Amino acid sequence: SLVSLSLIIPSPVLPPPGDIQVLLLTLDSVSLSWSSPQGLTGPQTFRVTWGCDGETSSTRVKDVYHLKISSLRPGEKYQFNVATEGEDGRQSRWVSASISTVLPAPDQLTVDSVDTTSAAVSWSQPPGLDHTQHHYKISYCCPGIKPHITTTSSPSITLCDLKPATEYSVTVCTVLENGKQSQLVLTTFTTVLPAPDQLTVDSVDTTSADVCWNQPPGLDQTQHHYQISYHCPGTEVHITTTSSPSITLSDLQCGTQYSVTVCTVLENGKQSRLVSTTLTTKHLQWWKRPSTVAAVFVLLAVIMGLWDSYATSERDHLQNSLNTRTTERDQLQTSYNTPTKERDQLQTSYNTPTKERDRLQISYNTLTKERDQLQNSLNTWTTERDQLQNSLNTRTTERDQLQTSYNTPTKERDQLQNSYNTPTKERDQLQISYNTLTKERDQLQNSLNTWTTERDQLQNSLNTRTTERDQLQTSYNTLTKERDQLQTSYNTLTKERDQLQSSLNTRTTEIDKLKKSLNTTTMERDQLQKEIERLNWENKGKCVQRAHLFICFLIHSFCS
């Protein structure tokens, strides 16, 4: 009897695309990519869907393996699905991924007005949140104290009840209604150290004075003291300290105006602003002394009057010469001080670019090292990628050979199937041969599947390595641009430094010339001063002789 064998071949199932990869993620868009489905050749079409909170959108792409999706909401979690779609409407299983868009953080965090116990903090609203409900979370603390946390819906806040002269750290982040937070933005500030208040002067005497003030607010639990400085015109500044809000200044000169300044000083050396006042000591009242002292003062006054009457003309002449020399000396001193100040300013200007140049050089060296490390990593990944590519090519060649070996038994099986309707013995023999070839085919199919799996793993590893290499290349290019910018800034600062050095040398030469002129004028002034002293001694001797004659004349007249 003839036995017919009918084979039922089902419609092939479309293979799904590879796993979804994220190429770029922003606050309102995402760029996705996926690999080609296994075993498919020719034009391919993919169905892409995405949704959030029940809202779903979809699109269809053809012959591409990537897609950029825009107009998303910041800080939201979206479900993305990709499936292979056939010409007859059939679809593969979905490949899914859950991705959250970026929630932007506050920008330009600044601290505006800082007082002793408060500070105003402001920032810019993050972009893309005009139509999204959100608020801001602010946390601030000082070392050793538990952070204070508060919230606000406006892009500014005033922090109160702060400690004076204390460094605070402030962090701000964006918070959505679902509780999702952005990255933290950090800044620091230091509150102002309060100065002494109501500085007053009490009980001024000829050589002493009492100064008092009020303790600054907010320093009851803080160790501090006060620094007092006082001086009169033309003298050095006297500096002293005290822990009490009052002090007695002694060893003052009578009839002299003093300038007094007081400031608050902490244990770490930080000082508040200066509070100043002035005082004038009392004059010495010699007429209240005993009669003997008064007589001595009268006699000295008579002698000085006689000396003034005889030495006025010559002294005035020498005084005029001295004043002329002094004026010339002051002019030279002023001329000397002006280039000196300019030289100091140039030196300061020179030091500032030099420091900036050193910082730029350090940054440049650091970036160069990082670039070299990235270059080494890039070379390593490139070598591994090439090795994986070679392995992939080898596996592909072996797979093709197995596919060829698989096709040959399949053709033989088909030939045996055509001969199946012959007599039974031949059919049985052919069935046995068919079964044998089918087993060999299955073995070859298993081997082919194994090689295909290994090839896909190698392909995924290659894609991962390629993505990491591209990221490293991007970082390398960015660092190279920053290095070039730093090199340009370094060259500019070097030119400015050379110009400042030339100006400094010119000013130094002018200062040396002015020093020589000042020294010459000073020597002439000293000679005139010695001449005046010599004449003063001669006039003093003459005045004493005349005073003796005058006193003898008075005694003689009194006796007569």
Mean local confidence (pLDDT), 341-349 = 77
Query: Could you read off the pLDDT of 204-257 as tens digits, one per residue?
Result: 998 899 999 998 888 888 889 999 999 998 889 999 999 999 999 988 988 899
φ, ψ at 103 (rounded to 5°)? -95, 115
What pLDDT is stored for residue 291 in this prediction?
A: 53
Comparing CA positions, the residue from 42, 39, 43, 49 lying closest to residue 18 is 39
Q: What pLDDT is recorded for position 165? A: 86
Residue 95 to residue 38: CA distance in whole angstroms: 14
- Dump pLDDT digits (tens) for 445-496: 887 888 888 888 888 878 888 888 888 888 888 888 888 888 888 888 888 8
Same-domain status, 86 and 40 = yes
pLDDT tier at 360 (50, 70, 90 boundaries)?
Answer: confident
Indicate which CATH number applies to the domain containing 50.
2.60.40.10
Residue ending a domain, among 267, 284, 301, is 284
Show Cβ contacts of residue 247 under 8 Å, excluding neighbours closer than 6 positions.
210, 211, 212, 226, 228, 240
Stretch among 55-64, 167-176, 350-359 having the lowest mean pLDDT: 350-359
Give CA separation, 248 vs 204, 274, 475, in Å. 10, 19, 67
Task: Using CB atoms within 10 Å of the CB of residue 517, give its burial: 0 to 12 exposed, 13 to 18 middle, 19+ buried.
Answer: middle
Do 95 and 24 belong to one domain?
A: yes
Please provide residue 268's backbone torsions phi and psi, each rounded to the nearest 5 degrees: -80, 5
pLDDT higher than threshold 80 for residue 280: yes
Q: What percent of the chain has pLDDT above 90?
A: 27
CATH number of the domain enclosing 523: 1.10.287
End residue of a domain, out of 218, 250, 284: 284
What confidence tens digit (pLDDT) does each residue in 499-554 have?
888 888 888 888 888 888 888 888 888 888 888 888 888 777 777 777 777 777 77
Looking at 173, 190, 207, the residue that finishes a domain is 190
Please check whether residue 406 lies inside any domain of the structure. no
Give the span between the Cα atoms of 522 and 10, in whole angstroms.
118
Residue 156 lies in a domain: yes
Instruction: Judge whether residue 4 has pLDDT over 80.
Output: no
User: b/e for 99-127, b at 16 or more Cβ within 10 A?
Assistant: bebbbbbbeebebeebebbebebbbeebe
| φ, ψ (nearest 5 deg) of residue 197 | -120, 150
Question: DSSP assignment, residue 54?
Answer: T
Check whether residue 17 and residue 94 sit in a common domain.
yes
> With 0-12 CB in 10 A as exposed, 13-18 as middle and 19+ as buried, what is 523?
exposed
67 and 124 both lie in a single domain: no
At 22 the three-state DSSP class reads strand
> Do 179 and 142 fall within a single domain?
yes
447 is a domain residue: no
3-state helix, strand, coil in the chain (%, to 5): 50, 25, 25
Q: What is the pLDDT of residue 308?
A: 66
For the chain, how many residues are written? 560
pLDDT the model gives residue 449: 81
Do 335 and 351 fall within a single domain?
A: yes
Q: What is the pTM of this model?
A: 0.45
Domain span holding position 81? 12-102
State whether 42 and 89 are in the same domain: yes
pLDDT score of 440 more than 90: no
As a whole number of angstroms, the distance between CA 9 and CA 263 comes to: 98
DSSP-derived secondary structure for 448-483: HHHHHHHHHHHHHHHHHHHHHHHHHHHHHHHHHHHH
518 and 505 within one domain: yes
pLDDT tens figures, 547-556: 777 777 777 7
Residues 277 and 300 in one domain: no
Q: Tens of pLDDT along 185-201?
A: 999 999 999 999 899 99
Looking up tokens 């190698």 gives: 458
The domain total for the chain is: 4
Residue 76 lies in a domain: yes
Q: Is residue 245 part of a domain?
A: yes
Handedness of CA 84, 90, 93, 94 (dihedral sign): positive
Assigned token pair, 423? 């007599």
**Is residue 439 in some structural domain?**
no
> Per the domain annotation, does 483 fall within a domain?
no
The edge-to-edge listing of strands for the beta sheet with 30-33 is: 21-25, 30-33, 66-69
DSSP string, 179-233: --B---EEEEEEPPPPPPEEEEEE---SS-EEEEEEPPTT-TTS-EEEEEEEE-T
Each as own residue / partner, the long-range contacts of residues 151-159 (CB below 8 Å, 24 or more positions apart, any chain) are: 151/175, 155/106, 155/122, 155/123, 155/124, 155/125, 156/120, 156/121, 156/122, 156/123, 157/120, 157/121, 157/122, 158/118, 158/119, 158/120, 158/121, 159/118, 159/119, 159/120, 159/121
Residue 7 falls within a domain, yes or no?
Answer: no
Which position has the token pair 């190429």?
Answer: 23
DSSP per residue, 85-145? E-TTS-B---EEEEEE---PPPEEEEEEEE-SS-EEEEEEPPTT-TTS-EEEEEEEE-TTS
Confidence check: pLDDT of 11 > 60? no
Same domain, yes or no, for 85 and 156?
A: no
Asked if 81 and 163 sit in the same domain, the reply is: no
| Per-residue burial over 59-89, b = 16 or more CB atoms within 10 Å of its CB, e = otherwise | eeeeeebebebeebbbbbebebbbbbbeeee
Same domain, 83 and 38: yes
Whose structure tokens read 């600044």? 110
